[in-house]
């Protein structure tokens, strides 16, 4: 399929903005033409720093006819409103995770995409990288036999030590479930299919956190959401996954993510990264084997390249061109509902049955 030029307007010029600019630069056909922010001065500075030709407030971005794809990097609590506004302005939209912060808002976003006929995609896009695609290929090829179980472990990102104001991570819409959970759930659903039920328990570890980041703008933040959650997820396939999602575990030797089958185990690298070793150990093997990547790397492992973003935007542009859409809205909504059900189970007690489902995304590797 011939590639066409897509004109990108980035909404929001905060902490992750530079990662998208750097990642999108890998694709000459994805041209950033405008940056919009409610803080116009910040948008102007971002445009100057990255040689982006136009800048202004959010309304200016929606009204700019030269923009056909909006990359939405606003805080999660603003996702639903800004997505719908962009869709109704005739733009295709790729949004940072999560798709929304509630199921109701997520449903409104899906309805807006359907109503406007625009393409909507959502992070996380790390499941499109070589690591998860390699794991998916191993599972689909039967290397671990029939999948039986999985485990996922989220430790603290130590945001207080590097983010100038991580308050949003400890408020509704944040926390380990909504902040880091999407990366892990997207990988699990990509590899194992949709989730059917969840059961969880949660607590708040420390009610106030001290911020030590060198360029901090606040000294302390109040914690208003649970920061330590344990859960059991049952997939429609029958696979049972156990998860621990915590901003209270600063150090651990637990693996990020493992998938257990009737004939072996897969161990995956950091789900927040596109690439990394995928290790296989079949029953009877004397040691782990590192699998050959199923496709080319997005960036060099162990470098800052693993922090850049943009593969999901290329995926959305591919869908606009008529190709497969992997990080699509239905997939993102199912991940969102799973995470919301997890929070709901922890708050109310008991198991929660999901109402949504989704297809496993088409793999990127060639069989």
Look at residues 187, 73, 166, 170 and name the one whose alpha carbon lies nearest to residue 122.
73
Residue 1: pLDDT band with limits 50, 70, 90: very low
Which segment, 3-7, 122-126, 171-175, is predicted with the most confidence on average?
122-126
Write out the DSSP string of 40-78: HHHHHHHHHHTT-SEEE-HHHHHH-TT--EEEE-S-GGG
Q: Share the mean pLDDT of the chain.
A: 96
The pLDDT value given to residue 367: 66
pTM: 0.94
Please state the rounded mean pLDDT for residues 241-258. Answer: 96
Give the model confidence (pLDDT) of 294-320 as tens digits: 999 999 999 999 999 999 999 999 999
- Classified as helix, coil or strand, 99 is coil
Picking from 30, 33, 29, the residue whose alpha carbon sits closest to that of residue 54 is 33
Q: What is the pLDDT of residues 30-88, one digit of tens each?
A: 999 999 999 999 999 999 999 999 999 999 999 999 999 999 999 999 999 999 999 99
Flag whether pLDDT at 271 surpasses 50: yes
pLDDT in tens, 88-117: 999 999 999 999 999 999 999 999 999 999
Two tokens at 253?
């030797």
Q: How far apart are CA 164 and CA 347, in angstroms?
A: 30
Query: Tell me, what's the pLDDT at 366?
Result: 80
């Amino acid at each position: 399929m011939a590639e066409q030029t897509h004109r990108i307007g980035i909404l929001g010029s905060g902490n992750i903005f530079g990662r998208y600019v750097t990642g999108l630069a890998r694709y000459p056909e994805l041209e950033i033409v405008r940056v919009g922010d409610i803080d116009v001065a910040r948008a102007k500075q971002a445009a100057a720093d990255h040689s982006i030709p136009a800048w202004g407030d959010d309304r200016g971005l929606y009204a700019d006819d030269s923009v056909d794809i909006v990359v939405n990097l606003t805080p999660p609590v603003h996702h639903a409103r800004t997505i719908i506004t962009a869709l109704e302005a005739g733009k295709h939209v790729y949004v940072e995770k999560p798709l929304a912060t509630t199921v109701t808002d997520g449903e409104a976003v899906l309805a807006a995409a359907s109503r406007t006929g625009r393409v909507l995609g959502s992070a996380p896009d790390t499941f499109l990288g070589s690591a998860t695609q390699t794991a998916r290929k191993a599972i689909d090829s039967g290397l671990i036999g029939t999948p039986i179980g999985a485990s996922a472990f989220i430790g603290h990102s130590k945001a207080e030590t590097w983010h100038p104001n991580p308050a949003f991570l400890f408020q509704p819409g944040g926390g380990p479930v909504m902040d880091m959970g999407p990366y892990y759930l997207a990988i699990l659903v990509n590899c194992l299919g949709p989730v059917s039920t969840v059961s969880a328990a949660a607590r708040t570890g420390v009610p106030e956190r001290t911020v030590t980041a060198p360029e901090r703008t606040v000294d302390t933040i109040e914690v208003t959401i649970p920061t330590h959650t344990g859960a059991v997820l049952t997939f429609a396939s029958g696979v049972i996954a156990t998860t621990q999602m915590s901003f209270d575990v600063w150090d651990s030797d637990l693996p990020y993510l493992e998938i257990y089958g009737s004939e072996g185990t897969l161990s995956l690298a950091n789900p927040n990264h596109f690439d990394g070793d995928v290790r296989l150990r079949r029953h009877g093997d004397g040691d782990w084997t590192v699998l050959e990547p199923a496709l080319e790397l997005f960036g060099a492992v162990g470098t800052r390249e693993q922090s850049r973003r943009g593969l999901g935007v290329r995926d959305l542009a591919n869908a606009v061109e008529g190709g497969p859409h992997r990080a699509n809205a239905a997939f993102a909504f199912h991940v969102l509902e799973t995470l919301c059900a997890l929070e709901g189970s922890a708050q109310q007690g008991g198991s929660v049955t999901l109402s949504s489902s989704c297809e496993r995304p088409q793999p990127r590797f060639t069989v």
